[in-house]
């Protein structure tokens, strides 16, 4: 897939989910088949970039794939300066967040709140595109509310102002993550513009990926919440889209156990032991969701303070027969939906 002057391995993207799509998770998903892996969003206020959270989000790690920096804000000048700074740090593309439905973001007139002001959207696109030499993309929703579903208007503005590609989540801001994503608006947006369009929302299986691609005519798909605890979903989708026969993971892939243990090790390496152990807890909760013995495992692992003990407990749990490297076990894990809890992180893309 091509976006501007950039070429990606395929048209399957990992959503830049805040608190989830950190460098270790992006690297893991890329190894398992995600062709596009944007970083978590950072504020357009570059004065905040020295904080521990923002500096980690901007950090390149272990030869990470093409770095796409996502910025969020409402002021065209600040967003343009943030894009310049991101390019100076080595970003190969800049993505503008106009899709986040979180109250703390929308209260600042940023994220999906911008969809209520097409004039401001046009100014932001024009200033940011003019500020950098790398491709500028944007993530939007279908509108502010079902009554103000203006995604087509915003998409046309994006194309007019030089946006290189557009990702569209199939809900309005008012919908947040409730109900079901609708793809008709994405289909209409794809027909209305000539730039690449990536469809997002409720894509949680290889079959759903193909269904959305075929219905919308989109150039690519973005997977968010469904990848938590199932990073191998990208491999399943790739396999299914390529041969259209089976959504099972190819037999050459590592076992589920090895994928999980490798992920834990990378988190310790990236964050250090103290933070790495704590970040690992939520991933282990997702990895063991709906698995036999998972509740007891989670109760134990949440109290462990050392990386050595956490890794040992995880290895013991995942060494069971049900986690052997078999297509059957990967398939069963690949079918589990990742959309059902109030404790899940907000998708910030």
Taking only the tens place, the pLDDT of each residue in 146-192 is 888 999 999 999 999 999 999 999 998 877 777 889 999 999 999 99
Computed over every residue of the chain, the mean pLDDT equals 86
Report the pLDDT value the prediction gives residue 256, as an integer from 0 to 100.
86
> What predicted TM-score, i.e. pTM, was given to this entire model?
0.88
pLDDT number for residue 40: 93
Tens of pLDDT along 72-96? 999 999 999 999 999 999 999 999 9
Q: Right CATH number for 2-243 from 3.30.420.10, 1.10.3720.10, 3.20.20.70, 2.60.120.330?
A: 3.20.20.70
Active site residues: 100
Which pLDDT band holds residue 340 (cuts at 50, 70, 90)?
very low
Least confident of 6-20, 33-47, 327-341: 327-341
Residue by residue, what is the 3-state secondary structure of the chain? CEECCEECCCCEEECCCCCCCCHHHHHHHHHCCCCECCCCCEECCHHHCCCHHHHHHHCCCCCCCCCEEEEECCCHHHHHHHHHHHHHCCCCEEEEEECCCCHHHHCCCCHHHHHHCHHHHHHHHHHHHHHCCCCEEEEEECCCECCECCHHHHHHHHHHCCCCEEEEECCCCCCCCCCCCCCHHHHHHHHHCCCCEEEECCCCCHHHHHHHHHHHCCCEEEECHHHCCCCCHHHHHHHHHHHCCCCCCCCCCCCHHHHHHHHHHHHHHHHCHHHHHHHHHHHHHHHCCCCCCHHHHHHHHCCCCCHHHHHHHHHHHHCCHHHCCCHHHHHHHHCCCCCCCCCCCCCCC
Give domain limits for the chain: 2-243, 256-334
* pLDDT per residue as tens digits for the range 20-69: 999 999 999 999 999 999 999 999 999 989 888 888 888 877 666 568 99
Q: Which class would CATH give 256-334? A: mainly alpha
């Amino acid at each position: 897939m091509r976006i501007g002057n950039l070429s990606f391995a395929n048209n399957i993207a990992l959503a830049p989910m805040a608190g989830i799509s950190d460098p270790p998770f992006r690297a893991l998903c890329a190894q398992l088949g995600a062709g596009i892996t944007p970083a978590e969003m950072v504020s357009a206020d570059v004065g905040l970039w020295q904080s521990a959270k923002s500096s980690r989000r901007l950090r390149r790690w272990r030869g990470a794939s093409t770095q796409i920096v996502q910025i969020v804000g409402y002021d065209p000048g600040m967003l343009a300066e943030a894009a310049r700074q991101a390019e100076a740090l080595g970003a190969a593309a800049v993505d503008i967040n106009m899709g986040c439905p979180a109250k703390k973001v929308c209260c600042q007139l940023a994220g999906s709140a911008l969809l209520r002001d097409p004039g401001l959207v046009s100014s932001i696109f024009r200033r940011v595109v003019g500020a950098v030499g790398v491709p500028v993309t944007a993530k939007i929703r279908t509108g502010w509310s079902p009554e103000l579903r203006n995604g087509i208007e915003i998409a046309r503005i994006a194309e007019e102002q030089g946006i290189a590609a557009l990702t569209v989540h199939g809900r309005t801001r008012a919908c947040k993550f409730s109900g079901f994503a609708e793809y008709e608006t994405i289909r209409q947006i794809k027909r209305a513009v000539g730039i690449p369009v990536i469809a997002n929302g409720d894509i949680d299986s290889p079959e759903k990926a193909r269904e959305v691609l075929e219905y919308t005519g989109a150039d690519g798909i973005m997977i968010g919440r469904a990848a938590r605890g199932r990073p191998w979903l990208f491999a399943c989708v790739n396999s299914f889209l390529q041969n259209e026969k089976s959504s099972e993971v190819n037999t050459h892939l590592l076992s589920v156990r090895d994928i999980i243990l490798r992920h834990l090790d990378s988190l310790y390496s990236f964050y250090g032991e103290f933070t790495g152990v704590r970040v690992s807890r939520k991933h282990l909760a997702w990895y063991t969701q709906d698995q036999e013995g998972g509740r007891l495992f989670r109760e134990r692992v949440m109290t462990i303070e050392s990386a050595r003990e956490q890794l040992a407990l995880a290895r013991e749990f995942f060494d069971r027969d049900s986690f052997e490297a078999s297509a059957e076990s990967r398939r069963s894990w690949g079918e589990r939906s990742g959309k059902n809890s109030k404790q899940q992180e907000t998708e910030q893309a």
